[in-house]
Amino acid sequence: MIRQALQQCARVVQRTPLLHASRPLSQSFPSQTQTIQPTRQIRSFRSTFWKKRRYHYIELQRMSAFEALIHNARPRHFVIIGLGASGLYFYNTDEVEATHRRRFNCVSNARELEIGMESYREILSTERGKILPRNHQLTKMVDGVLQRLLPGMDMDASDWSVHVIRDDSNANAFVLPGGKVFVYTGILPICKDEDGLAAVLGHEISHVVAHHTAERMSNSLITLSATIIVSSLFDVSGQLSSFLMNMLYNLPNSRTQEAEADYMGLMLMAKACFNPEAAVHLWARMHEEERHSPPQFMSTHPTSYNRMESIQGWLEKANGIYEENGCKEISGYMPGFRTAFNSSVSHMRR
């Protein structure tokens, strides 16, 4: 939203019509050889002053306010701007509790929740008619997995709710800030069982817990500012600098968030007594599904193969949590739940 607001602001500034002088500029100012009568000097000075101011105003209008600032800046201004920007950056950094990663985040939790609610209303409207009722077997099953995961994050479960959308062609699931969970039926066969579903939900819940939406919005602000600075200083098109910023800053950040959600989700599912190894199998099945996806450096997500490898590296820790919580002893009743999951998914696919 901040980016949209800034873009809107920039567009409004750029759309302002230019105040062209009615005559060519050279004719607007008195010639240096022209004799000016003493009695007319003051009037002439005023006229020249306002014409110059007006010319400067026209030039400024050709650029956005921020571009004008950069354009007119001197070296000492860059030092001041740099110090100010660094101060602002560090003042707005916080830490993701689960991984101790420091990041820039200037969006409040309240604003992030608002965004979540706006998206929630939009999705309810676009997916109307496809959302399964609350008492549907699949909704109850997904909700069962969610309720087992939530205590692992010490979160208030009252605002969390599950929406299963009947769409077999869409292998997707996501959780909005505030805890509205959406699962498309197309992802259930890939999940295969409740452990696989827990891997997916654990990952999506972790995005919410780590406030990744707020972080993405904050990063957009940095990208926008850097894009304007780069295109002003080096006289390159906004599109080129935007592409470079996306490749060098946004995509790596996005992949960092994905890896972080994978890690947090894995620990979360282990705490809730879901078999952590199911996450490796899930990404192996995803790998099969995404044969035609773009290479990793062009994508916001790590490839499923890379995710699988990373998760394998974290398995020892996750298995330790699984055993510490006495999950091996209580896993005896799981097969019944697994059978119920599979029969429900099969029923939906018919």
Catalytic positions, written as ranges? 204
Please tell me the count of residues contacting Zn ion according to CB under 5 A.
2
In the shown chain, the binding pattern of residues 261 to 300 toward Zn ion, with x for contact by CB under 5 A and - for none, equals x---------------------------------------
Distance of closest approach, residue 253 Cβ to Zn ion, in angstroms: 13
List all residues 6 or more positions away from 37 whose beta carbon is below 8 Å from its beta carbon. Answer: none
| Minimum CB–partner distance for residue 236 and Zn ion (Å) | 32
Tokens of 46: 């005023």
Give the range of 177-185, 242-250, 260-268, 342-350 binding Zn ion by CB under 5 A. Answer: 260-268
For Zn ion, which is the closer residue by CB, 67 or 258?
Answer: 258
Q: Are 204 and 261 in contact (CB under 8 A)?
A: yes
In the DSSP assignment, the letter for residue 163 is E
Tell me the three state secondary structure of residue 33.
coil
Q: To the nearest whole angstrom, how small is the minimum distance from the Cβ of residue 164 to Zn ion?
A: 19
Which 3-state string (H, E, C) describes 305-331? Answer: HHHHHHHHHHHHHHHHHHHHCCHHHHH
Cβ closest to Zn ion, residue 261 vs residue 279? 261
Pick between residue 148 and residue 301 the one whose CB is nearest to Zn ion.
Answer: 301
Could you tell me where the beta strands, DSSP code E, fall in 46-100?
Answer: 93-96
User: Measuring CA to CA, which residue among 255, 236, 235, 256 is closest to residue 244?
Assistant: 236
Per-residue interface string for the shown chain with Zn ion, residues 220-259, x marking contact by CB under 5 A? --------------------------------------x-
Q: Decide whether 61 or 300 has the Cβ nearer to Zn ion.
A: 300
- C-alpha 182/C-alpha 163 separation (Å) is 5
Contact 157/208 with Cβ under 8 angstroms?
no
Minimum distance from residue 2 beta carbon to Zn ion (Å): 22
The binding site for Zn ion (CB under 5 A) comprises: 258, 261
